[in-house]
């Protein structure tokens, strides 16, 4: 989302001062390090999700036996990355605790504001939206991540508002942008 906005010449941080930009980058690092790794953990380390969701989705575009080989190779790559970051050997409870702590920090920063840094979305809002939307809308064998996120209504509301305001789907539209438009 952030790269897309940047490619369109849209700056999501032009209204922020240097202190706010530093805060935003710190929170973005937290989100990338916790939410990103937690999602990788659930997708590639948790055996139930791997077998019921990740593997079928990842391998479906490749013919047999390439599908099995590439899935195994991707899992190995992700496990190696998570091992280097200290996430591969975490227990499920530790991962869920990290996610809850991250969501709590984000929720406290957002408080009752519409966006993290004022009345307009920033890169942090886009990043949080991407993770929260994926967690809230992706059907998984376990709803543990979703249940944690739902404990923070302001994060759910942020995700719903961004979806509504910037990705509202037009019924019956034949536009070439995936039927999504930015509303005024």
Per-residue pLDDT of 143-184, as tens digits, reads: 899 999 999 999 999 999 988 888 765 444 444 444 444 433
Give 28-49 pLDDT, tens digit per residue.
999 999 999 999 999 999 989 8
Name the residue among 74, 34, 35 with its Cα closest to residue 54. 74
| Cα(112)–Cα(54) distance, integer angstroms | 35
Tell me the pLDDT band of 68, cut-offs 50, 70 and 90: very high
Residue 35: how many CB atoms within 10 A of its CB? 24
Closest Cα partner for 106 from 77, 90, 87, 127? 127
Task: Give the residue carrying structure tokens 């979806």.
Answer: 163
At residue 34's C-alpha, the angle toward residues 160 and 67, to 5°, is 85
The pTM (predicted TM-score) of the whole model is: 0.82
Helix (H, G, I), strand (E, B) or coil at 118: strand
């Amino acid at each position: 989302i952030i790269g897309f906005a940047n490619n369109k010449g849209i700056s999501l941080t032009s209204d922020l001062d240097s202190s706010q930009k530093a805060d935003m980058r710190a929170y973005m690092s937290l989100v990338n390090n916790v939410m990103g790794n937690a999602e990788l953990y659930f997708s590639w380390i948790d055996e139930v999700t791997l077998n019921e969701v990740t593997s079928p989705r990842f391998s479906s575009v490749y013919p047999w036996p390439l599908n099995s080989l590439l899935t195994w190779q991707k899992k190995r790559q992700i496990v190696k990355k998570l091992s280097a970051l200290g996430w591969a050997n975490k227990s499920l409870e530790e991962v869920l605790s990290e996610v809850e702590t991250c969501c709590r920090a984000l929720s406290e920063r957002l408080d009752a504001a519409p966006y993290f840094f004022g009345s307009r979305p920033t890169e942090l809002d886009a990043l949080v939206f991407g993770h929260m939307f994926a967690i809230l809308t992706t059907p998984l064998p376990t709803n543990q991540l979703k249940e944690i996120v739902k404990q923070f209504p302001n994060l759910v509301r942020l995700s719903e508002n961004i979806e509504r305001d910037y990705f509202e789907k037009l019924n019956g539209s034949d536009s070439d942008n995936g039927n999504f438009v930015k509303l005024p």
